[in-house]
Amino acid sequence: MTTLTLTNLAKRYSRSVWGVRSMSLDVKDKEFVVFLGPSGCGKTTCMRMIAGLETVTRGRIILKGQDITDLPPKDRGVSMVFQNYAIWPHMNVYDNIAFALRLKNVDRKELNQRVKKVAQMVRIEPLLKRFPGQMSGGQQQRVALARALAVEPRLFLMDEPLSNLDAKLRVSMRTELKTIHQESGATSIFVTHDQSEAMSMADRIVIMKDGEIVQTGTPEEVYFQSANTFVAGFIGTPPANFFPVEWKNGKLEHPRFQLSPPPALHQAIENHGKNRLILGVRPESIQVVREEEALFIAPVLVVEPQGSHQIVAVQVEDEVVKLIMPPACGVQPGELLPLTFDSTRLHLFDEESQLRIPGY
């Protein structure tokens, strides 16, 4: 069942400055959707329009069948976690969480139960009497979460809620947020610029650029079926490598190599009918092979150990190409690596439109 529908939603700040150009999206019941994009792509603006903190220039917002486009924030049944927590320093934790419930005149007993329940959920029960000034960033973030959960919203909005936390806490909070989402079942929208955060948490990722949706899909879809070079170059740690190639005599020609694609891809390229293409290869799809099997040979620039694997940067023409290798394989800078591609995992894009060529 659909919870939230955005139709052609747009926000214009001034005559020529658009925050969001046009956004159409359906969010299903209990879904965890992540808006992902670089800063300035309009993801936060879009969320603020849904919350009612930003007026809508054009388009409609429908929540559970009700048009909320012009309603004040308090009547929308949404709750929100802000990037810098925005918990009120003059109230203790209990009062922060109870604020919305008191305004709704929830009776004392139920209010107390609900505050206790969400405090337990985010594990801040012992802190209820504390003031925000006496708590760490991570604890404050939990209070903000509890406050947002307590109102049992129709829609749960989170605006980069983890970006002010330190790296370790950020990763552990991901798991916790996902657990809380599974427990509470609240339909959620989560805004972030961190693709690994998006990949690890989302049921569905909405990738945005310049105020428009570039691609919507599951983490697997956006990773393995990236809609264009922007998505392929944004998703992944490290992201995809690109090689400009030309389609000639049934082969993809690059100054350094010639590649015969598998039949399905061959057919798709033929159907597409254009010669100037961009080949995208994920780092783990580049393999080190014996010299006689190599597509090309490239010198190693840098080796970045990651523990479970290592990222090796090699030079191909003027480009830096990154690949993933197993740990402790003893590769040294300057060494020549014979490389080839996993031909079942190639991405091909039209050079002109930067879009993925369809049909493979």
Q: From the list 37, 52, 161, 219, which residue makes contact with other proteins (rule: CB under 8 A)?
A: 52
Task: Give yes or no for residue 95 binding other proteins (CB under 8 A).
Answer: yes
98: nearest Cα among 89, 107, 84, 188:
107
Q: 251: which 2 tokens? A: 């082969």
Q: From the list 71, 99, 163, 225, which residue makes contact with other proteins (rule: CB under 8 A)?
A: 99
Sheet of 296-305: strands edge to edge?
286-288, 336-341, 296-305, 310-316, 319-325
Task: Give yes or no for residue 72 binding other proteins (CB under 8 A).
Answer: yes
In the complex with other proteins, which residue's Cβ is closer, 114 or 147? Answer: 147
According to CB under 8 A, which residues from 304 to 333 bind other proteins? none
Q: How far is the CB of 94 from other proteins (least distance, A)?
A: 10
Interacting residues of 128 by C-beta distance below 8 A, sequence separation 6+: 92, 93, 94, 97, 115, 119
Q: How far is the CB of 7 from other proteins (least distance, A)?
A: 23
174: nearest Cα among 152, 192, 157, 149:
192
Separation CA 159–CA 164 (nearest Å)? 11
Dihedral sign of CA atoms 109, 111, 116, 118 in order: positive
Task: Give yes or no for residue 188 binding other proteins (CB under 8 A).
Answer: no
Task: Give yes or no for residue 108 binding other proteins (CB under 8 A).
Answer: no
Q: What's phi and psi for 88, nearest 5 deg?
A: -80, 120
Q: How far is the CB of 225 from other proteins (least distance, A)?
A: 36
Q: From the list 67, 70, 86, 289, which residue makes contact with other proteins (rule: CB under 8 A)?
A: 86
Task: Give yes or no for residue 82 binding other proteins (CB under 8 A).
Answer: yes
Interacting residues of 291 by C-beta distance below 8 A, sequence separation 6+: 297, 338
Strand partners, 287: 340
Q: From the list 61, 80, 252, 314, which residue makes contact with other proteins (rule: CB under 8 A)?
A: 80
Q: From the list 28, 74, 108, 129, which residue makes contact with other proteins (rule: CB under 8 A)?
A: 74
Q: How far is the CB of 88 from other proteins (least distance, A)?
A: 6
Task: Give yes or no for residue 46 binding other proteins (CB under 8 A).
Answer: no
Task: Give yes or no for residue 53 binding other proteins (CB under 8 A).
Answer: yes
Separation CA 281–CA 342 (nearest Å)? 9
Separation CA 255–CA 246 (nearest Å)? 10
Residues at the site binding other proteins, with contacts judged by CB under 8 A: 51-53, 72-74, 78-80, 82-84, 86-92, 95, 99-100, 103-104, 147, 151
